[in-house]
């Protein structure tokens, strides 16, 4: 996936359209570029999985 695709995925994650983003080790640098430009990145939580895969979810505020 390219940076633009990850940017779109991050927006969908924030809106609740999708519940998670799975990032393979080979895609991490493209994801990282999109992540660093994402205005709500402090609410994106990554959880490491087996094989170097990281699953990202979005932390909703308690009032949401």
Can you list the residues of the chain whose pLDDT is less than 50? none
pLDDT at residue 62 in the model: 61
Read off the tokens for 64.
């949401």
d(CA 35, CA 64): 22
**pLDDT value of residue 43:** 95
Output the pLDDT for position 17.
97
pTM given for the model: 0.89
pLDDT for position 63: 57
CA dist 18 and 31 (Å) reads 16
């Amino acid at each position: 996936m390219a940076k633009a695709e990850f940017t779109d995925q991050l927006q969908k994650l924030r809106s609740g359209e999708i519940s998670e983003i799975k990032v393979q080790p080979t895609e991490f640098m493209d994801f990282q570029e999109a992540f660093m430009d994402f205005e709500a990145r402090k609410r994106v939580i990554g959880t490491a999985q087996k094989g170097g895969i990281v699953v990202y979810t979005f932390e909703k505020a308690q009032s949401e």
